[in-house]
Structure 1
Amino acid sequence: MDFVYFLGRFHVLVLHLPIGMIVALFVLEYLSRRERYRYLEAASPYLWIATAISALVTVLLGFMHFAEGSFTGPSGELHRLYGTVVAVVATVVALLRVGKFASSYKPLFFPASLVLLVLVSITGHYGGNLTHGSTYLVEYAPQPLRSLAGLAPRRTITSVSTADPFADVVGPMLVERCASCHNEDKKESDLVLTTYAGVMRGGESGRVVVAGNTELSELLRRITLPESDDEFMPAEGKTPLTARQVEIIRWWIEAGAPSGGTNGDLQVPDPMRSTLSEELGVSF
């Protein structure tokens, strides 16, 4: 299975090919309907075939990538479904385009390219949910849009004391640095770091945060390893937490990994208050 997983990782590389080709198809089919650009029709069969082949290869690699078992939840299933539909539609239309009766289906090709453009956009949306989390696009949106997305109003933080130690401090750090691999739809090592419940539940190797005990908290160990270490997190290619953020997470664990309430309920040492003030951009 390792070779299957190896090939599957190339999904994230080749997926850009069908996306670009579908956009090109839409432009070509739109322009070639005009007399001035009629000559573009000659390229249409070749582009349809290339699009179909690239879509089929992308879907095949996608299924191999899914075989790793890290992708769960509705976004993963919908991404796989819509991706398959894109490949099927592209292949069927490509066969019609190069077939004996292609001229009979000529009115179909532009609408088909538009349908593919919509489908690949939906597919990409659910793929984005897998890598960034389902709330990534609307995290900083105006409140009306946040409400439509089912998100609670953003809390107004005026000082260190009014901030929730997890929801306003530690949680956003983990979402920013760790959500691409540890969200509800993509659970590397069965670990979710986008919610307090997920952090405290841990993953397939056990708990990653032990309240009040930094020595036994695997999360802290991983983020403080040398970046050259294979176990260092975030994984290679991802932006690591800053030294200040690591110290805040260390303090949070030592304080009992609290969630709910505010920092004002805790006995926060002045040096940490200063650190939190700098991180949050609010008054001491």
Structure 2
Amino acid sequence: MSFIYFLGRFHVLVLHVPIGIIVAIVVLEALARREKYRNLEAASPFLWGAAALTAIVTVVLGYFHFAEGSFGSASGVQHRTFGTALGVLITAVALLRLSRFARNYAPVYFPASVLMVLLVSITGHYGGNLTHGSSYLVEYAPQPVRSLAGLGPRRPPVTDLALADPFLDIVGPILRQRCTSCHGTDTTEADLNMTTYEGVMRGGETGGTIAAGRPEFSELMNRITLPPDDEAFMPAEGNTPPTPEQVRIIEWWIQTGAQSGVVLGESDIEVSAEIEALLRAELGL
């Protein structure tokens, strides 16, 4: 299966090829409807054929990638469903466009190309959910839009360090920025969801991620402090790791009990001058 997984990772690279061809098709089909550009119609069968071929390869690689088992969320299933539908439909239209009956269905090709763009957009949306999380597009949207997406009010910006929640305002945003593309709601590598405090504390398939009060025994600290060329280093796959300052903040948070639901000014959490400077810089104070 390792070789299948290896091939599947190329899905995220190859998928851009049929998208580009589909965009070219819709432009060509729109222009070819005008007498001035009728000669462009000759390129249509070749583009449809290329789109179908590359779409089939992309779908197959997508299934290989899906086999890794980390994409079983609703977004993952929808991405696979719409991607498969796109591959099937574009192949059907391509076969028609390349057949001897092609001219009989000339009025069909432009609407079909528009439909392909729509399917690409829907498929890409769900694919984006897998890589950025389902709330990525609406994270900074006005609250009415966030509500339509099922999101509650955003936490107000911290203007006073004493009013900051150590997880919700400081550590949580670091983890969402650096970790949740792989360990989120839509993509849960190693069965680890780091979008919430509960998910972080629950850990994943290798056990607990956080040992409160003991950063040296915390899997999270172990992974983010390994040499970057170590296979176990996180974040993986070339994603941007936490900065040294953010690593120090995470270590401090774990050392002081990995708390959430409190504010620094009303807790017994120790904040040294070094940590205070790091926290203020992280919060932009």
Give the deviation of 1:236 after TM superposition.
Answer: 4.4
Corresponding position of 2:258:
257
Q: Which amino acid aligns with 2:282?
A: E
In the other structure, the counterpart of 1:99 is: 99
1:100 to partner: Cα distance: 1.5
Q: CA deviation at 1:261?
A: 2.4
Aligned to 1:268: 270
Q: What is the alpha-carbon root mean square deviation over aligned residues?
A: 1.2
TM-score, scaled to structure 1: 0.96
Structure 2 residues without counterparts, runs of 5 or longer: none
Letter of the 1:187 counterpart: T
Is there any run of 5+ residues in structure 1 with no aligned partner, and where?
none
Structure 1 residue 94, shift from structure 2 partner: 0.6
Q: How does 1:83-94 map to 2 (within 5 A)?
A: 83-94=83-94
For residues 3-18 of structure 1, the aligned pairs below 5 Å read 3-18=3-18
- The aligned residue for residue 34 of structure 1 is 34
- CA–CA separation in structure 2 for the residues paired with 1:65 and 1:276: 39
Other-structure match for 1:108: 108
Q: Secondary structure at the match of 1:115?
A: helix
- Using the aligned pairs only, state the percent identity: 62
**2:64 aligned with 1:64:** yes
CA offsets, 1:36-67, max 9 Å, x none? 11111000001001001111110000000111
2:217 partner SS? coil
Q: Which range moved further: 28-37 or 258-267?
A: 258-267
Contact 1:72 1:184 in 2 (8 A): no
TM-score by length of structure 2 reads 0.96
**Partner AA of 2:103 in structure 1:** S
User: After the TM superposition, which of the residue ranges 139-148 and 105-114 deviates more from structure 2?
Assistant: 139-148
Q: CA deviation at 1:140?
A: 2.0
Moved more, 144-153 or 67-76: 144-153
Partner of 1:118: 118
Structure 2 Cα separation of the partners of residues 193 and 144 of structure 1: 26
Paired position in structure 2 for 1:199: 200
Offset from partner CA, 1:60-101 (integer Å, 9 cap, x none): 000001111111210000000000000011011111111121
